[in-house]
Structures are given as structure tokens and as C-alpha cells.
């Protein structure tokens, strides 16, 4: 038991993935007898969706501290968060549409459960549905889109209440921490869930399912690389006007920690140190922008949610129209905002995005096995985005000490 917990979770997940593939390949359709373990894992994930989004979003908005901060610094940061998030999710949808990673896979052997149905027949229905008639009913039904809107309003209300809202803010802040701990507990089930699900998928669908999953992983990495190499480099070069090589050299410690831990929150202290000491971002800008970004800015997660939802639609033969793409873009962006900066929350948010367009949640069984591998790169993208936007905002507001930025010629 001591050896088990002394081994990093990602290593246990990778080992479970490999073992599950071998067991599924050798056992064949009989591997379905252990699928219930994976179903238990998915049920635990779904259990976390509503409370995690509610506490995380309210605490994230309340952490701004003062509505006046949403001025020169906060306003620019939030706008850039939203823009890069939309670019990321549409990039994921574009890659999924272009390469069709799930197309042609025969899933007739899989018994699909109740498919979540979208309540939206038009974009106006989606807008009206964002206003909850009963927040309690919304939570009971798991209708996440109006829950997100309600959570944002609660957070803004706390800010407007100022000192009188502080006790409520502390409650949600504590609740957010508690939910992160609960999520960490559920994530300890990941090796068992991954083993059972990937064994079932391999035993039922064989090698073609693994090839489709491999394409999904490759597209996830490609999308993340494109976000970093094109979007963030473009922002650094043309908006912040800083040496790109020097920036990445200064942020290398944070990038390495983010990839190894798959946690934006765990990487935050390193991110702040790199921004202030190596890049020259003022403390007021770095502490606010990077801290807020670690809570609500999840470009890699947004792209993944869009790509994974499209992957699920393809493997189960669903035709999605442009209106569905818009719904995916909105819910994936909002879902990434509600995702806590800890490993595994991409799987949790996946249920809300897929449910919004009627994609079977059995898709999670396909991607769960390789989620940790993708999560590491997604987190690196998230942290790079936080650092890029902090640097860009600092340059816009005169809070960037360019003399401290590591020279591109330094060794």
C-alpha cells in the first residue's frame, strides 16, 4: 500500500492503461465483466460536476476582490482569456472536423445508455435557458449552463457587497478547496477506472479503437502545440513585443512543472516566480492575472472538450450541425472556466459539454484511458497561456520591466 501511494498518480495511470490494453486484447469480449469498475469511476466523476463548478466559479470571481480591479488590468486579462479560449475550442473543433479521428469505428457492439438530449432547438433557446427559473432545480437536474450563469452572478454579488460579502466569499473559498480535495480523492480511482474501461474497449472493439484513441491523443498534442507556437508566440511578438525565446527560457521551470504535475494550481507558485524574476512582470499584474488565470483560464482544456465531444459524435455516428458547434464552443469555454486547476477535471467537465449536444457519455470510456497523457500537455498549454496573457497585460499597462527579461543571448 505504501508503494502504491508513493508512486505518482500519472505513473499508476499509464501502467493501468498498458495493463488494461493487454488484458482486453487477451480476454476479448469477456472483459465486459469488469466494466462495472469503470462505470463506478464515471459515476463518481458525474457526481462532482455540479458542486465543483458552483464552488470553483463563485470562488474564482470572488477572488478578484474588488470590481475596480476589472479595469486596466482585469478587463484586459478577462478579454484575452475569453478570446484565447474561443480560439482554442474552435481549433479543437477544426482539427476534429478535418481529421475525423472517430469516423469509421464500428461501435455497434457497445450498448449505449440513455443519451443526454439537448434542450436547445435554436441559439435563442440557448440564451433563454441560461437564466435559471429555479437554481435549486437546476442543480438537481444537472443543467450546467444555467448553473454557470447563476454561479457567476453570485460571485459578482459578493464583490458588490464588499466587506459584507467577505464571510460568504470565505465560505465559497473553503468550499472550493474542499471540492478540490474531494476531486483528488476521486482521481485516486483513476487507475482502476482506466484499467477497466480500456480493457473493455479493447476487448469489445479491438485494435481499431486504440488507433482511433491514438489519433485523438495526437490531435490533442497538435492543437496544444499550435496554440503555443502560433497564438501565444503571436501575442508575445506583436502585442507584448518581447523576445519570444527569452520569454520561454524564463518560463521553462513553470512549463516543466506543469507538464509533470498536470496541475495549474500546483504550478502557480513557480509561474509567479518565473514571471516576476525572469520575465519582469510587475507583482500586482502577475499575482492578479496568473492567479485568476490558474482558476478560469484553461485554453488547453477548452480545446480538448471541443475535440473530445466531436470525437464522441463521430464514433457513435451523430451528425452535428453548425448550431451544435456554437453550443459546444460556448459550453466548452464555460466548462473550462469552471474546471479546477487540478488533474482530471477535463473528464468532469466533459459530461456537461457532451450533454449539451446529445453525445453519449460512453465517449468518456474511450478517452479516459489516455486522459492523463493529454492532461499533461493541456496543463502546459494552460500555464503558458496564463504567463503569456500576464506578460501582454503588463506590457499594455506599463508594468513590464524589460530590463529584467532574460536576454535571448543568455546561456
Q: Could you tell me the CA-to-CA distances from 341 to 34, 180, 320 in Å, in that order?
A: 31, 9, 30
Does residue 408 lie within any of the structural domains?
Answer: no
Q: Residue 31: what pLDDT? A: 86
Task: Please give the residue range of the domain that contains residue 164.
Answer: 2-396
Does residue 407 lie within any of the structural domains?
Answer: no
Q: Residue 89: what pLDDT? A: 94
Q: How many CA atoms lie within 13 A of 300 on its CB side?
A: 36
Whether the Cβ atoms of residue 50 and residue 144 lie closer than 8 Å to each other: yes
3-class SS of residue 374: helix
Q: How many domains does the chain have?
A: 1
Note the pLDDT tens digit of each residue in 324-375.
899 899 888 877 766 655 666 677 778 878 888 888 887 887 888 788 889 8
DSSP annotation of 142 reads T
C-alpha cell at 167: 464571510
Does residue 406 lie within any of the structural domains?
Answer: no
CA angle 139, 145, 147 (to 5 degrees): 35
Q: Which segments in the chain show pLDDT lower than 70?
A: 1, 64-72, 109, 111-126, 142-145, 295, 337-345, 406-411
Q: How many CA atoms lie within 13 A of 241 on its CB side?
A: 6
d(CA 181, CA 188): 11
Q: Residue 411: what pLDDT? A: 39
Whether the Cβ atoms of residue 162 and residue 363 lie closer than 8 Å to each other: no
The total of other beta-carbon atoms located within 10 Å of residue 67's CB is 12
What element of type H or E holds 125?
Answer: helix 123-129
CATH number of the domain to which 103 belongs: 1.10.3860
Taking alpha carbons only, the member of 250, 244, 246, 218 closest to residue 229 is: 244
Q: Residue 112: what pLDDT? A: 62
Whether the Cβ atoms of residue 400 and residue 282 lie closer than 8 Å to each other: yes
Q: Residue 261: what pLDDT? A: 78
What element of type H or E holds 17?
Answer: helix 9-27
Does residue 302 lie within any of the structural domains?
Answer: yes
Whether the Cβ atoms of residue 203 and residue 24 lie closer than 8 Å to each other: yes
Q: Residue 70: what pLDDT? A: 56
Whether the Cβ atoms of residue 16 and residue 192 lie closer than 8 Å to each other: yes
CA angle 386, 390, 392 (to 5 degrees): 120
pTM above 0.85, yes or no: no
Q: Within the chain, what is the greatest distance between any pair of CA atoms?
A: 64
Residue corresponding to grid cell 441559439:
123
Q: How many CA atoms lie within 13 A of 304 on its CB side?
A: 37
Q: Cβ contacts of residue 47 below 8 Å, gap of 6+?
A: 186
Does residue 106 lie within any of the structural domains?
Answer: yes
Q: Residue 297: what pLDDT? A: 81
3-class SS of residue 73: helix
Taking alpha carbons only, the member of 340, 325, 99 closest to residue 226 is: 99
Amino acid at each position: 500500500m505504501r508503494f502504491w501511494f508513493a508512486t505518482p498518480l500519472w505513473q499508476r495511470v499509464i501502467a493501468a492503461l498498458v495493463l488494461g490494453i493487454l488484458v482486453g486484447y487477451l480476454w476479448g469480449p469477456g472483459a465486459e465483466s469488469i466494466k462495472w469498475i469503470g462505470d463506478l469511476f464515471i459515476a463518481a466523476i458525474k457526481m462532482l460536476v455540479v458542486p465543483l463548478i458552483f464552488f470553483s466559479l463563485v470562488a474564482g470571481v470572488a477572488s478578484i476582490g474588488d470590481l475596480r480591479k476589472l479595469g486596466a488590468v482585469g478587463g484586459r486579462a478577462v478579454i484575452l482569456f475569453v478570446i484565447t479560449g474561443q480560439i482554442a475550442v474552435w481549433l479543437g473543433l477544426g482539427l476534429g472536423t478535418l481529421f475525423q479521428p472517430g469516423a469509421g469505428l464500428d461501435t455497434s457492439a457497445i450498448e449505449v445508455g440513455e443519451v443526454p438530449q439537448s434542450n436547445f432547438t435554436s441559439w435563442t433557446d440557448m440564451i433563454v435557458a441560461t437564466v435559471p427559473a429555479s437554481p435549486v432545480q437546476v442543480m438537481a437536474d444537472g443543467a450546467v449552463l444555467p448553473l454557470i450563469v447563476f454561479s457567476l452572478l453570485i460571485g459578482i454579488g459578493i464583490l458588490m457587497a464588499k466587506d459584507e460579502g467577505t464571510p460568504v466569499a470565505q465560505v465559497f473559498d473553503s468550499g472550493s478547496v474542499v471540492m478540490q480535495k474531494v476531486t483528488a480523492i476521486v482521481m485516486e480511482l483513476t487507475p482502476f477506472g482506466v484499467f477497466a474501461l480500456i480493457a473493455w474497449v479493447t476487448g469489445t472493439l479491438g485494435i481499431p479503437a486504440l488507433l482511433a484513441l491514438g489519433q485523438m491523443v495526437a490531435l490533442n498534442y497538435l492543437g496544444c502545440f499550435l496554440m503555443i507556437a502560433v497564438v501565444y508566440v503571436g501575442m508575445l511578438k506583436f502585442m507584448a513585443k518581447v523576445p519570444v525565446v527569452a520569454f520561454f527560457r524564463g518560463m521553462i521551470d513553470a512549463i516543466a512543472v506543469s507538464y509533470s504535475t498536470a496541475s495549474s494550481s500546483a504550478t502557480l507558485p513557480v509561474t509567479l516566480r518565473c514571471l516576476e524574476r525572469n520575465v519582469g512582470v510587475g507583482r500586482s499584474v502577475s499575482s492578479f492575472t496568473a492567479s485568476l488565470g490558474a482558476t478560469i483560464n484553461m485554453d488547453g482544456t477548452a480545446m480538448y472538450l471541443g475535440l473530445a465531444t466531436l470525437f464522441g459524435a463521430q464514433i457513435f455516428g451523430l451528425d452535428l450541425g453548425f448550431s451544435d458547434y456554437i453550443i459546444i464552443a460556448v459550453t466548452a469555454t464555460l466548462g473550462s472556466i469552471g474546471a479546477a486547476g487540478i488533474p482530471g477535471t477535463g473528464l468532469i467537465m466533459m459530461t456537461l459539454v457532451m450533454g449539451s449536444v446529445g453525445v453519449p457519455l460512453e465517449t468518456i470510456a474511450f478517452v479516459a484511458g489516455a486522459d492523463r497523457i493529454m492532461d499533461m500537455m493541456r496543463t502546459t498549454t494552460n500555464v503558458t497561456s496564463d504567463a503569456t496573457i500576464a506578460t501582454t497585460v503588463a506590457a499594455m499597462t506599463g508594468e513590464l520591466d524589460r530590463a529584467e527579461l532574460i536576454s535571448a543571448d543568455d546561456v
